[in-house]
Amino acid sequence: MDKFLERYSSVIEQAFGEYYRRHTSPEHLYQPVHYILSLGGKRLRPALVLLAADSFGCPLEKAMPAAMAIEVFHNFSLVHDDIMDRAPLRRGHPTVHCRWDANTAILSGDVMMIQAYELFETYRGDTFREVILAFNRVARQVCEGQQLDMDYENIEDVSQAQYMEMIRLKTAVLIGGALRIGGIVAGASARELEALEGFGTDVGLAFQLTDDYLDTFGDPRTFGKRIGGDILEGKKTFLYITARERASREEFERAFSLADEEEKIEAVRDLYRATGADQALREQIDRYTEKALAHVDRLPFSQPYREHYIRLARALVQRKL
């Protein structure tokens, strides 16, 4: 993470430290909320809310409740997604449904969604209305994206367009929404909000595609997860879809039918290289990074802030590509 975003992260941690004390009873409801929120993570989304507000000269304290709302919502979605995906670990710690149980994870997730809405109560008048409307739209789309992700597990012929739409909904709109909401709080114009959201959405797409790339071709020492996870799950990523379109059916099935896990990962990686799927993915990442940067030109920021946005867009896709 970039240095300037780290500055935001530390004030976010501080704000959450105080937040935990606000609601404590019933314990079994709020303990898991505090647990998941205190596992940390990059705090990328709330940092983007603060960045957007900061760029327009809005004090960080004013934007903080919105930043926290976005992070609480993001963590709500992680808690519920982890149940659905039967994930045992999140950020190296047991997921809420594993540490407690599925019922606890459902209900604590529910209350987190409500807490996100409550955090917006600090805003007034048109600002209040605009943040709630923007947030409603984002929240719905995140659910739709998660549904498509689950749907695509059971469909063989997912197209690239369908895949891009799924990651747009599941991941990118929340990043775009974080920037838009930061802009709303700061009083940005409708045109500026479009540019902020556009930047965030395109960065979000490039970010998710980079994650896909690293899941297959990343460095196991820095990626944090096992390399090849998507391959073993048969996940219909951009790489999978491109290779499936370009390879013969036999080639494709031969690689994916190998029983030994390491052999399978290696064979699929070779297939991705041979079909140029890896190259196509890198080009796709570049395309969305460039699209994101084009939005920065439509924003009225002074040079230091422009640099932040540009560095951010590059940093998110240059995580050891």
Structure tokens at 300: 């009225």
124 binds a copy of itself (CB under 8 A): yes
- 309 vs 316: CA distance, rounded Å: 11
22 binds a copy of itself (CB under 8 A): no
Q: What is the DSSP letter of 122?
A: G
Q: Which amino acid is at 254?
A: R
Q: Which of residues 29-58 bind a copy of itself (CB under 8 A)?
A: 29
Q: Nearest approach, Cβ of 22 to a copy of itself (angstroms)?
A: 11
Q: Which is nearer to a copy of itself, 10 or 136 (CB)?
A: 136
Phi, psi of 176 (to 5 degrees): -60, -40
Q: Which is nearer to a copy of itself, 89 or 114 (CB)?
A: 114
Q: Which is nearer to a copy of itself, 48 or 148 (CB)?
A: 148
Among 4, 20, 117, 223, binds a copy of itself (CB under 8 A): 117
Phi, psi of 245 (to 5 degrees): -70, -35
Q: Which is nearer to a copy of itself, 67 or 119 (CB)?
A: 119
Structure tokens at 111: 């209350």
136 binds a copy of itself (CB under 8 A): yes
Our measurement of the distance from residue 89's CA atom to the centroid of its chain's CA atoms, rounded to an integer in Å, reads: 17
Residue span 141-160 as binding mask against a copy of itself, x where in contact by CB under 8 A, dash where not: --xx-xxx-xx---------
Structure tokens at 308: 């932040």
66 binds a copy of itself (CB under 8 A): no
Owner of token pair 């917006």? 120
Tell how many helices (H) and how many strands (E) occur in the chain.
17, 2
Find, among 172, 182, 180, 112, the residue nearest to 141 by Cα. 172
Q: Which is nearer to a copy of itself, 51 or 138 (CB)?
A: 138
Q: Which amino acid is at 99?
A: R
Binding site for a copy of itself (CB under 8 A): 26, 28-29, 80, 83-84, 102-103, 106-107, 109-111, 113-115, 117-118, 121, 124-125, 128-129, 132-133, 136, 139-140, 143-144, 146-148, 150-151
